[in-house]
Amino acid sequence: MNKFWIILSHTYMTRVKTKSFLISTAVTLLLIVGLANFQSIIELFDDGKDEIAVIDESNELFDAYKESVENVNENIGIVAFDGTEEEGKEAVQEEEYNALIVLSTNENQLPEASYYANTISETSNQQVLVQQLQQLKVAIATQQAGVDEAALAEIYAPVTFDTIALDETAKSEEELSQARGIVYVMLFLLYMAVMMYGQMIATEVATEKSSRVMEILVSSASPVTHMFAKIIGIALLGLTQVGLFVGIGYYLITSKQDELTGGFFEIFGIQDTSLSIYIYAIVFFVLGYLLYATLAAMLGSLVSRVEDAQQMIMPMTFLILIAFFISMFGIGMPDSALVTVSSYIPFFSPMVMFLRVGMLDIPAWEIALSIGILVATIILLAVIGARVYKGGVLMYGRSSSFKDLKKAMALSKKDK
C-alpha cells in the first residue's frame, strides 16, 4: 500500500508543477474573474450615451420619436439638429454625433426615415431606432383609420398560453428552469474533465514507457497498483483544479450577489436548484471519470510513444462525443426514447442519466439501475484493464491496433 501512495503522490506532484497545469489554471481563473466582473468591464469601456442627431422635416414626429426611443434604451440620446442635411452628415463625419436620422412623411402621412452613419456595422442601435419608428407608424396609421388604440393593443398583446402538466409527478416549467443550469454545467464539466484528464492518463503512461521509466516502476510495484495510483493521482489533480474554479467562482458570486442576481443566473436557474441535483452531479461526475479514466489507462498502456496515444484513445473520444451530443439533444426532449435507452448504456449514462434526473421526475429504481450498471461496468473494466495494463506496460514498439489487447492479456498471464 505504501508503494501505491508513493506513485500517487509522485503523479500528483509532477503534474501539478507543470507549466501547462499552472498556465491553464491561471487563464481559467482569469476568465472566471472576468465573467464575474463582466458588467464592470463593459461599463469601463462605455463611452456614455450614443447621440443621434435628428432632422424632422415633418415638424410633427420628433417629440414622440425621442420619447419612444429613450424610454426603450437609455443609452441612446435623441438630439434635434437645426442645420441642413449636409451639415448633419458633416457633423457625423467629424464624430460630433454617432449618426443622423432624417424623418419625413410619405404621401399617406406615415413616417419614414433615412439613417446616416460613418459605419453601419453596429446594428443594435439601428434595430431600436427602426422598431420605435415602426411603432410610431402603427400609432399614426391606427389614428388615421379610426381604430381604437386600446383595442389594437389588446389584439397585439401576447396570447396567454399556460403549460400545465397533468402528471402530478412531472416537473413544472419553473422547476425545469431551475435544473437546467446545473445540468448544462455538469455536462460541460464532465465532458472537459474526461477529455482532458483521460488523455493525460494515457499520455502519462506512454511517456513513462518511452523513457523506460516503466521498467523501474513495474519492478518495484505491481502494474495494477501503478494503474490505479495513476488514475487516483490525476483525479486528485482534477479535483484540485476544479476545486479552485468552484471555490473562487462561489466567492465571486456571493460577494457580488446583488449585482449578479437575475440575468444569467435567473435564466439558467442556478440560484434555486435543489440540493439533490448537486449530489447526483457529484455521483455521476465521479463514476463517469472512473469509467473513462480506467479505459484511458488501459489503452495508454498499449502504446510506447506519446504520438500513438492520441490515436489509441480516439474511440474513447468518440464515445464521449456521442454521449455529449445525446445529452445536448436531450435538453429539449429529455423524455425521448433515445435519451431513455441511452441513460442505461454505461458509457453514456454519466451524462444522459444525470440529464434525466435533472430535467424529469423519474423513479428511484431507474436511477439505481443506471448507477448499478455503471458501477458493474467500472468494476469489470477495472478487472480487464488491470490485466491489459499488466501486460501492456511490458510491450514496446509501435502499436496502434486493438489487436494488441489480446497480446497484452497473454503477457499478463505469463507474468503470473
Q: What is the per-residue pLDDT across 89-124, written as a single tens digit (0 to 9) for each?
A: 888 888 888 888 888 888 888 888 888 888 776 677
Domains of the chain by start residue, with CATH: 2-32+172-414 (no CATH), 50-156 (3.40.190.10)
Residue 220 has a pLDDT of 61
Rg of the chain (C-alpha set):
31
Q: Which residues of 27-54 are buried (b: 16+ CB within 10 A; e: fewer)?
A: eeeeebeeebeeeeeeeeeeeeebebbb
Nearest CA to 400 out of 313, 292, 321 is that of 313
pLDDT in tens, 173-206: 666 666 677 777 778 877 887 778 877 877 776 6
Is 267 a residue whose pLDDT tops 50?
no
Residue 375 has a pLDDT of 92
Distance, CA of 333 to CA of 216 (rounded, Å):
52
Is 264 a residue whose pLDDT tops 60?
no
* 167-171, 277-281, 326-330, range with greatest mean pLDDT: 326-330
Run of H or E residues at 388: helix 364-392
Residue 42 has a pLDDT of 66
pLDDT in tens, 7-57: 788 788 888 888 888 888 888 888 888 877 766 666 666 556 778 888 888
pLDDT bin (cut points 50, 70, 90) of residue 263 is very low
Query: What are the CA-CA distances from residue 142 to residues 56, 106, 149, 156 (Å)?
Result: 21, 16, 7, 13
pLDDT in tens, 311-344: 778 888 888 889 889 988 888 788 888 989 999 9
Run of H or E residues at 402: none
